[in-house]
Each structure stands twice: as structure tokens, then as C-alpha cells.
Structure 1
Amino acid sequence: MTKKYIADIVPLNEEFIGTSAHGTAEFTQDENNLHIKIEMFDTPSKTQHWEHFHGFPDGKDAQIATMKQDINHDGLVDLPETETVSGTTMVPFDNAPHEMNVPNDNYPVSDADGHFAYEMDVPLDQLQAKFKSVFGTDELELAKRVIYVHGVPESLKLPDTVSGEVADYDAHVTLPIATGKIRAID
């Protein structure tokens, strides 16, 4: 049985960043495969954009972060501030989502106009096995997840209050620029 999901991706932190990143994500899941298609517009140009779905391992329904999550009132919602409503980073949309290796340089890079398109077929059995080893369940539960697109240029001066370092990557890489709630399509 094929299941389809979509997310309308809306801007986050746009006033500080100076662009209103937006787009759509489509997911088609059958017995063997998860097909992922994401297209983004008006992202910071010529920048690598990490993109993932986030959620709660216990199955709680994740929601997108808004400026209400800016708990330190620095004018930006950074990665740690998203966790209360969105959960943790789960599956990356890079060159090998089924490996769930989040910190890497294999994510899309936007063109000079801030556009990028990402499309990938992921072997569902491999993704579910890795998901189970990390989160204790092989149920992706896409309708309970949210998508985030991250990344601003190194030249953008971020306040010292912005955090979100992951491995050797700083908050420029992890700062959310757009988010969307994944929902099932009948």
C-alpha cells in the first residue's frame, strides 16, 4: 500500500536572515521505498542547506517552531529552541538518508537565486532498521514529524546567544531557516 505525505515549508527567522525561505516536501512510501522530493525557494544563496525530519521518539505529535520558541529573546529560534515542540533531529535528507549520519557535507547547495531541489529514493528496509537501532521503533510515523531546512552564510553575524553546534559544525549550519508540518494525503 502506498502512503503519501506533504509539507508546506514556511519561513523561520526570516527577518534576521533577510530571505523568506519556503517550499514543499513530498514523501511517497511503499513497501520497499521512501521517495523524497523537496524544492526550496528564496533560501540564502550559494549555501549548503541541511534538511531533516524532526520528531519525538515516543510518538508524540511534533509541531513546527515559531518565534514563540525564542526563549532567550535574541530574535532568532535556534536549533535547541525547536526541541520542545519539534523533538530531535531524526532523518537527514542528504545523499544517504538511510545511514542517518546527520553531520556531513552531502546536503543540497542553493544556487545564486536561493533555489534548490532534492530528490531521493531511500531503501525503506535499511532506513527502518537504522531508525529502530537509534530510536527503538521502525515506524517512521511521518504524519507526526516536521521538516526543517537549516543554514545561513558564514558571513551572517549571529548573536552570541545563538547555539546549535553539531560535531564540527557551528550555528551557521544548523540555524533553522524554514519548517513545515508533514501531513498525510488521502
Structure 2
Amino acid sequence: MVEKYKAEIVPLNEAKIGKKPHGTATFTVTGNNLDIKIEMNDTPENTQHWEHFHGFPDGKDAQIATIEQDKNGDGFVDLPETEPVSGTTMVPFNDAPEEMDMPNDKYPVSDENGHFEYQRVVPLDILEKKFQEAFGDSKLNLDKRVIYIHGVPDSLELPDSVAGAVGDYDAHTTLPIAVGKIKKI
């Protein structure tokens, strides 16, 4: 049996970053494999873009953040402001999603035109085991998740009110620039 999911990825924070990042993500479950394909356009150029799916460990249906989530009124929707509607960061789309190692430099980098493509085939049993260790349930529930694309150049001036530092990475790395609701197709 094959299960397919898709997200239409729309811009977030576009007024502040001067770009309208957009794209698509598809997730295909076939047997023990999860095939992940993400293509993005109009992202900040030559920039590493963290990308993850976010959701609620209790199974609540995650929704995309909009400018309405800018609770401190600084004009940016930062990572902590997405959590009430989108939940927590769950699975990274880096060089090894099944390891669930979030903060690292192994994410896609956009080209000089702001384009990147990402594709990985992930062993579902390993991912589900790590997911269960982290969240207490092995079910990915993709149709209850949202995908976020993060990352702006260090040269973009961010006010001190923009939060989201993770380990050695500051808000430039974690600032959400695009988001999409994952839906079963």
C-alpha cells in the first residue's frame, strides 16, 4: 500500500525578508520507506535552510502560522511564536532525518537564484523508533503536521525581539520563512 501526502509551501515573514519563498513538499510511504521531496523557490540566496515538520505530540492537528502569531508586534513571526498553532519541531529534513538530529549544518543550501531541491528516502522503522523515543508515539501522523522552511542570511538585520536560538544557532538560522500544511492525497 502506498500513502501520499503533499504540502503547498507559502511565504511567512516575506514583508521583512524581501522574498516570497514558496514550493512543495511530497511524502510517499511505500513499505518501510518514506520518500521525501521538497522543492523551494525564491528563498534567500546562498543560504542554508533548516526544514522540519512540526506538530503536537498529543496528536492535535497542527496549523500553519500567519502574521497573526506575531504576539510581540515586531513584524516577525519567530520560531517560539509558531508553537501555539504548529507545535514543536519534530523531524528534520537534513542529510539523515531518521537520526532526528536537529541542530547541525547538514541542511540544504539555496543556490544564487534562491532555489533548492531536497530528496531523501528514509527507513521508516528507524525513524518511527526515534520518533517514539522523542515523543512517546511511533505514528508520524503526517496529515496532522506542518512543514517549515527556516533561514535568512546573517546580513539581515533582526531586532532583539526575534527569538529562536537553538544551541549555537541564532534566530537567523531558525527564523521561519515558509510554511505548509501537510495533507493526505
Class of the TM-score when normalised by the shorter of the 2 chains: over 0.9
CA RMSD of aligned residues (A): 0.4
Aligned equivalent of 1:64: 64
Identity fraction in percent: 69
1:4-51 Cα distance to aligned partner (Å, 9 max, x none): 000000000000000000000000012210000000000000000000
1:44-70 Cα distance to aligned partner (Å, 9 max, x none): 000000000000000000000000000
Q: How many residues align?
A: 185
**1:119 to partner: Cα distance:** 0.3
Take 1:30 and 1:141, find their aligned partners in 2: how far apart are those partners?
15
1:108-143 Cα distance to aligned partner (Å, 9 max, x none): 000000000000000000000000000001000000
Take 1:27 and 1:130, find their aligned partners in 2: how far apart are those partners?
18
Take 2:161 and 2:134, find their aligned partners in 1: how far apart are those partners?
30
Take 2:30 and 2:165, find their aligned partners in 1: how far apart are those partners?
35
**Normalization by structure 2: what TM-score?**
1.00
Q: Which amino acid aligns with 2:109?
A: V
Q: Which amino acid aligns with 1:152?
A: V
> Mind listing any 5+ residue stretches in structure 1 that lack a counterpart?
none
Secondary structure, in 3 states, of the residue corresponding to 2:58? Answer: coil
**1:106 to partner: Cα distance:** 0.2
**Normalization by structure 1: what TM-score?**
0.99
> Mind listing any 5+ residue stretches in structure 2 that lack a counterpart?
none
Secondary structure, in 3 states, of the residue corresponding to 1:133? Answer: helix
Matched, 1:117 2:117: yes
Q: Which amino acid aligns with 1:163?
A: A
1:134-167 Cα distance to aligned partner (Å, 9 max, x none): 0001000000000000000000000110000001
Take 2:2 and 2:124, find their aligned partners in 1: how far apart are those partners?
12
Aligned equivalent of 1:19: 19
